[in-house]
Amino acid sequence: MADASARPGIRLRPHAKSHKCPEIARRQLALGAVGICCQKLGEAEVFAQAGIADILITNEIIGRKKLQRLVDLAQKVHLGVLVDALSNLNELGALASDTGVAVDVYIEVDVGAGRCGVAPGHPARVLAEALRSYPTLRLAGLHCYHGTAQHLRRPDEREQAIRHAAGAARETRSILEAAGFEVPVITGAGTGSFMLERDSGVFSELQPGSYVFMDRDYAFNELDPGEEPFEQSLFVETAVMSTARSGYAVVDAGLKASSIDSGLPSVWQRDDLVYQKASDEHGVLEIRGDRSLSLGQHLRLVPGHCDPTVNLYDWLVCVRDEHVEALWPIAARGALL
Amino acid sequence: MADASARPGIRLRPHAKSHKCPEIARRQLALGAVGICCQKLGEAEVFAQAGIADILITNEIIGRKKLQRLVDLAQKVHLGVLVDALSNLNELGALASDTGVAVDVYIEVDVGAGRCGVAPGHPARVLAEALRSYPTLRLAGLHCYHGTAQHLRRPDEREQAIRHAAGAARETRSILEAAGFEVPVITGAGTGSFMLERDSGVFSELQPGSYVFMDRDYAFNELDPGEEPFEQSLFVETAVMSTARSGYAVVDAGLKASSIDSGLPSVWQRDDLVYQKASDEHGVLEIRGDRSLSLGQHLRLVPGHCDPTVNLYDWLVCVRDEHVEALWPIAARGALL
């Protein structure tokens, strides 16, 4: 990803919500990332504690209690945050002014995901103007993330969605610039579409996260001829615990071991095995070929969705050539608030 | 549940995989439960450490390393475990004999769930006979759990499934008794069907777990006129973080805050709000009525499935009359092995 993002005018700020692991963040920074993204204030606190000095919280932080924590954190690290509401901006601005602490503010624009963010165009200007009242707040740019576009299966569908997103971002920037605001950064993008944002001529910062692990769902995306897929690196190690039923085997990894919101896991390098059904602590495999499975045999599952799966674990067990080389704590696991 | 299980010949052994919380287990025992069930050896170790003295692991434990842990644990607590394979039984028997430690063994019978367990009837006899070679293993009974039956929507569908399960259990017991084996206990059942197992004349132990919390999925089950539903007690507290889009609101609880394997959460006592879409850290609510939502407003979500949701958290925050009365550690969270 560092190589793929090394383009004039493009910087990489990988999303740490995928790995929640300071050791991976440090390696991303060592490879040239300008900082990391977090999704939760609690995550950002964990990464700051671990020495990560430049963090963008790609989310709105609401309410006085949390804003106080945010302002406290901004005294320790270079911190950015999103806004899409005037009341929230005013509350943040007042607290930051009181403390005299600098905070980078990105206006979130809904460029197609239908989640947070103001509509493209003029609403961003209202927020930018309000921001002027708070000397320690800095308009750092626009946050234009189109998450759902990444999971469109066909390259042309993804291209169309990101072209629309880039257009909405460009339009909003023009309105702000015409009103005298500088818009230093337009940030967004994820693993499933980052080449499109990168080459759009509009985005200047990329936030992909899942590329460090990949998952079964991204593997379903058709790729353009020029696109190199990232390799799968995240597996849930599981063992066969029952072979009592002919044609099936039961493994010891179910819903508590692998998030199935994007579908059931697949079995790594075993196309003859179909993970058919998950209950809390069991997975039922259908055996389609002639190779049988023995009790206790280990298999590797490829989770349907890496981010919420990683959030189930306290440690990443790092394996190279079948040897465990390191244990990396998933220090921000469960950081929800 | 303690009241509902207080019937002649019936004992209650609630499943701790739902709550993973020693404080709740202690309260269940204080109300008359004979012990608890766990699903993982690692869970059982946590509960044993917390002073729970009678634990049935309702699962097969495979491989020498884990069986050694199991035998170690059986020196500290009264421990039961399931078997459905001869090789596993022999490995357990040898280790338990070497150590001279008593282990209760339950033969798992597949009474309709299509997961672990030998087929009803004669296969159980092969295991029972092998068990005789190991003086410290005790044939404690049959494990006959029909998990999927609990989520059949109509009472008559559930009744038919459990009638079939009870028949399979009875037939297997008769074969064992005719061969000279005692079958002290037939254990099984869960929150969605326990009245049926209780009244079957076959089951003697009930293992419900979810009743302590309930979830959105169980609320979809039609009830018979005589059945009293358990009340919802598990909520995911969430806050509104964006109201930028008219007709919608975004809350700060997504896939990492609530397991959606049995469907999206609902919003407690707010039928006018529909939780429409979950991403990793966001939930999109559609506002169907006239009541608007304000930024920062708190709502309570009813998770689709309580067990894997509880497994996302380190603490239960216990609230009565809107006051926090206690924080109970979810000590066995993440105990997967």
Point out which residues pair with A324 in neighbouring strands: A319
Please state, in angstroms and as integers, the Cα–Cα distance from residue B116 to each residue in A61, A171, A267, A292, B113, following that order: 46, 59, 19, 16, 8
**Residue A135: what residue type?**
P
What pLDDT does residue A223 have? 76
Return the DSSP state at B288.
-
A264: nearest CA partner in chain B: B261
Return the residue matching tokens 């006899």: B125
What pLDDT does residue B220 have? 73
Distance CA B128, CA B62 (A): 18
What pLDDT does residue A229 have? 83
CB burial string A316-335: b at 16+ within 10 A, e below: beeeeeeeeeeebbbbbbbb
CA distance B106 to chain A (A): 15
**Do B259 and A101 contact (CB within 8 A), yes or no?**
no
What pLDDT does residue B315 have? 97
Question: Exposed, middle or buried, B55 (CB in 10 Å: 0-12/13-18/19+)?
Answer: buried
Q: Do A85 and B147 touch (CB under 8 A)?
A: no
Q: Are strands A236-242 and A205-206 parallel, antiparallel or unpaired?
A: unpaired
Instruction: Say if B329 is an interface residue toward chain A (CB within 8 Å).
Output: no
Q: Which residues in chain A show pLDDT less than 50? A: none
Residue A279: list chain B partners with CB under 8 A. Answer: 115, 147
Distance CA B114, CA B82 (A): 16
Among A242-251, B98-107, B210-219, the least confident range: B210-219
What pLDDT does residue A288 have? 96
Please state, in angstroms and as integers, the Cα–Cα distance from residue A291 to each residue in A247, A273, A288, A294, B201, following that order: 10, 9, 9, 10, 42
What pLDDT does residue B83 have? 98
pLDDT digits (tens, 9 = 90+) for A2-47: 999 999 999 999 999 999 999 999 999 999 999 999 999 999 999 9
Distance CA A152, CA B174 (A): 57
Q: Do A295 and B62 touch (CB under 8 A)?
A: yes
Residue B240: list chain A partners with CB under 8 A. Answer: 62
Residue B218 has pLDDT above 80, yes or no: no
CA distance A332 to chain B (A): 12
* DSSP sequence for B115-152: SSSBPSSTHHHHHHHHHTT-TTEEEEEEE---GGGGG-
CB burial string A235-245: b at 16+ within 10 A, e below: bbebbbbbbbb
3-state secondary structure at position B326: strand
pLDDT digits (tens, 9 = 90+) for B156-206: 999 999 999 999 999 999 999 999 999 999 999 999 999 999 999 999 999
Residue B239: list chain A partners with CB under 8 A. Answer: 62-63
Q: How confident is the model at residue B151 (pLDDT cuts 50, 70, 90)?
A: confident
Identify the structural domains of chain B with CATH numbers, from first to last.
Answer: 2-219 (3.20.20.10), 236-302 (2.40.37.20)
What pLDDT does residue B14 have? 98
B109: nearest CA partner in chain A: A244
Instruction: Say if B85 is an interface residue toward chain A (CB within 8 Å).
Output: yes
Q: How confident is the model at residue B228 (pLDDT cuts 50, 70, 90)?
A: confident
Distance CA B69, CA B77 (A): 12
What pLDDT does residue B306 have? 96
Chain centroid offset of residue B193 CA: 12
pLDDT digits (tens, 9 = 90+) for B7-37: 999 999 999 999 999 999 999 999 999 999 9
Residue B275 has pLDDT above 90, yes or no: yes
3-state secondary structure at position B318: strand
* DSSP sequence for B48-82: HHTT--EEEEEEE--SHHHHHHHHHHHTTSEEEEE
Residue B248 has pLDDT above 80, yes or no: yes
Return the residue matching tokens 């692998």: A258
What pLDDT does residue B54 have? 98
Q: Which of A115, A296, A307 sits opposite B282 (nearest CB)?
A: A115
- Which distant-in-sequence residues (6+ apart) come within 8 Å of B216 by Cβ? B262, B263, B265, B266, B302, B303, B304, B305
Please count the other Cβ atoms lying within 10 Å of the Cβ belonging to residue A291. Answer: 9
B336: nearest CA partner in chain A: A257
B236 closest CA partner among B125, B310, B184, B336:
B310
Provide mean pLDDT across the span B303-328: 97
Q: Are strands B273-278 and B266-267 parallel, antiparallel or unpaired?
A: unpaired
Residue A63: list chain B partners with CB under 8 A. Answer: 239, 296
